[in-house]
Structure 1
Amino acid sequence: MSYKHNNLMAMRQNYWNDTHSAQVESEKQFFQQVLIENTIYPTPSEDDAKYLFFSLPSIIIVKGYALGFKHGTVQAMIFKHLQTHKTILQHKSDIKIQFRM
């Protein structure tokens, strides 16, 4: 694993494990709602939302940290990710994420 990958994984884990921030809790519910709206899962659990979150490309994670995951720009990127990987997400398969520099 590269240094960059380790830092992004730490960012993901720190975010997801944050139970004190009202914003983070709200965004976790947002991820569940997004899964419903995009017909990925009819009644997604928090684990389903976590799976989605950990499947997001690094650019979405970085922008989500900076702007918030409910920001319009970030939402558009999340929706595009969902549409591109809908079948894979429904089956909870591994997603190969390509990095863009």
Structure 2
Amino acid sequence: IEAMACGCPVIATDSGGMPEYLEGSGAVLLRRDEIWDGECTPVPGVPELSGQIAEAILALKDQPARRAEMAAAGVRRAQDFSRQSYYQTFAGFVRRMRR
């Protein structure tokens, strides 16, 4: 969220809450190459994460227009997580609960 707010294009894995947080930001989401099941178990057919990251960086390096679009979309998306947005959401929830 902080990177988006600063206008930085984001490359992240598609795990945890990242897909939801990054929705609409244009972020590049990569598949994890391992699953933690008490050990790091490789995911069959998924390329090594370090290679995926390198490819994503190199692809963005050659696409300044895409980086600019990602930066603008990220800044817009990050506003959904601002203090004001959180306050408005919370206040709306409290108002609905009073009814």
> Do these two structures clear the TM 0.5 threshold for a shared fold by scoring above it?
no
More RCO (CA 8 Å, sep 6+): 2
Higher helix share: 1
Q: TM-score, normalised by structure 2?
A: 0.29
TM-score (norm. length: structure 1)? 0.29
Larger radius of gyration: 2
